[in-house]
Amino acid sequence: MSIADSLAGFEEIARLVLAAGRSLRGYVVTAFGCPYEGAILEERVLSMARAYADMGVAEVSFGDTTGMANPRMVSEKMGRLAAHFHNSRGLGLANAYAAYQAGVRIFDSSVGGCPTAVGAMGNVATEDLVNMLEEMAIDTGVDFAKLLEVTALIEEVLATQPASFTCRQGRPVWGPSTI
């Protein structure tokens, strides 16, 4: 469906959700680039964000669901918004950090990583994102031990190995300093 049709349908959903006293997040899923349309103009992305705001949406997430973003694009386009990155070219965490530096504090991620778009490596793994932020002394409020328990359960139930680098390699073990 067209973007206009999608927003019209979402407007009705927003009306119902907000009437029920709940908050809502809107997504611009290919905010950085689209394999079908190419580069996405910033004005188009901002227009969609304004449309969501006009509907009363509390948060807007700019997504890189096809893995086409790079850290410079992220730094230039983000702001005080939610972010959603895939790790298609190994830049998901770098893009999340660039978004963090630009002021973003809300991130989508997927426990164990989760492939969704054709050709994409899947969402940034929650364990990798939390590990990176905490290694930089940024408090995430996440209980990392419980996060790893959930990841292990998902791995067992789905009989797959998580895409998370942290689950495969573990967290660094910091011994006493010799300097």
Instruction: Check if 114 is active-site.
Output: yes
Token pair 């449309």 is found at: 51
> Up-side HSE of residue 74: CA atoms within 13 Å toward CB?
27
Which of 31, 57, 53, 35 is CA-nearest to residue 44?
Answer: 31
Q: Rounded to whole angstroms, how far apart are CA atoms 99 and 80?
A: 9
> Which entry of 114, 142, 150, 154 is annotated as an active-site residue?
114
* Torsion of Cα atoms, 94 then 46 then 3 then 96, to 10°: 10
* Cα-based distances in Å from 91 to 69, 98, 111: 8, 10, 18
**Which residues are catalytically annotated?**
114
